Amino acid sequence: MSAISVVNLTKRYGDHQALDGISFEVADGECVALLGPNGAGKTTATEILEGYRHADSGEARVLGVDPQHGDLVWRARLGIVLQTSRDLGDLTVREAVRHFARYYPSPRDPDEVIASVGLTEKAHDRNDKLSGGQRRRLDVALGVIGRPDVLFLDEPTTGFDPEARREFWELIDALKAEGTTILLTTHYLEEAEHLAERVAVIASGRIIACDAPSKLGGRNSGQAIVSWVEGGDERSERTDSPTRLVNELATRFPGEIPDLTVRRPTLEDTYLTLLGEHADNERNEAQS
């Protein structure tokens, strides 16, 4: 059984169709990343699965339960990191983590969790004295303290510096190794590529692509771009056979090929192409 199952989920706010019949599954122990521009429907979908919002139609199941009818035992199996910080201004970091640990039957060690998010030196500081990035780390600590079976991460590393983001990835890798199912929304494509087995791209409330990061949108079979300098000019060529082209170039130069680079489409390239194609399709539909 899939840990998360979504079938034809819809949600409308007035004239805005936030979700337009999306369907996807997250297998037990899998990490899936939802990618999309602001307003695409990522947070709405996540909040429905967390039980915070009602869907207009369709079906959602998390650990086999409709989120609207989940009891306390079910909720204890979830970890949730929201986009906005909790209001814990009067508590220190250690007090907050220890307090939330009491809500779960088998929590992690609070001090180990505090260390894993890089807040050991701030353990005795009150939440309202933390920087934005430090408060975000505390949110992550509170989300993972209960050893969740399913973890929802909504833009978890916003405000993190590069070193803190890498440390967070190590924590999520450890959770994945323990079998935790993760649904991640993020604007950092490198984060999605590192953490997720699959990524789903949402635009205008629809899922327009879903696959492994390396295969999304035919990325694995996309043409390579070979670039070099010849006669003082920068040149580049798209090709399905980059090795053949590089060998041909090697015969034209006595030594190294000047400024040679061979680049496959990145996840960002593919993501932007998918969004562009979707926008073109919507314009064509509106004009027809």
Summarised one tens digit per residue, pLDDT across range 239-258 is 988 999 999 999 999 889 99
Please tell me whether residues 43 and 75 are part of one structural domain.
Answer: yes
- Report pLDDT for 85: 64
CA distance 153 to 182: 7
The domain of 236 spans: 217-287
- Report pLDDT for 11: 97
Helix (H) or strand (E) holding 124: none
Helix (H) or strand (E) holding 269: helix 267-287
Please tell me whether residues 197 and 150 are part of one structural domain.
Answer: yes
Please tell me whether residues 170 and 247 are part of one structural domain.
Answer: no
Please tell me whether residues 138 and 267 are part of one structural domain.
Answer: no
Helix (H) or strand (E) holding 191: helix 189-195
DSSP SS3 for 18: strand
DSSP SS3 for 282: helix
Length of the chain, in residues:
288
Please tell me whether residues 42 and 78 are part of one structural domain.
Answer: yes
Please tell me whether residues 242 and 254 are part of one structural domain.
Answer: yes
Last residue of one domain, picked from the residues 168, 197, 216 = 216
Residue 97 in contact with residue 140, Cβ under 8 Å?
A: no
Please tell me whether residues 117 and 143 are part of one structural domain.
Answer: yes
Please tell me whether residues 207 and 224 are part of one structural domain.
Answer: no
Query: Can you give the CATH number for the domain in which 168 is found?
Result: 3.40.50.300
Return contacts of 85-89, CB within 8 angstroms, 24+ apart: 85/127, 85/135, 85/136, 85/138, 85/139, 86/139, 86/142, 88/127, 88/138, 89/126, 89/127, 89/128
The answer for 259, left when phi > 0, alpha when psi is -120 to 50, beta otherwise, is left
Residue ranges for the chain with pLDDT beneath 50: none
Please tell me whether residues 129 and 221 are part of one structural domain.
Answer: no
Q: How does pLDDT run across 119-156, given as a tens digit for each residue?
A: 999 999 998 888 877 888 898 899 999 999 999 999 88
Please tell me whether residues 156 and 241 are part of one structural domain.
Answer: no
Last residue of one domain, picked from the residues 216, 237, 263 = 216
Last residue of one domain, picked from the residues 163, 197, 216 = 216
Residue 204 in contact with residue 246, Cβ under 8 Å?
A: no
Please tell me whether residues 279 and 207 are part of one structural domain.
Answer: no
- Report pLDDT for 86: 65
In total, how many domains does the chain have?
Answer: 2
- Report pLDDT for 19: 96
Q: Which stretches does DSSP call E strand in the chain?
A: 4-13, 16-26, 31-35, 57-62, 78-81, 150-154, 181-185, 198-203, 206-211, 224-230, 233-239, 261-263
Please tell me whether residues 198 and 266 are part of one structural domain.
Answer: no
DSSP SS3 for 141: helix
- Report pLDDT for 35: 95
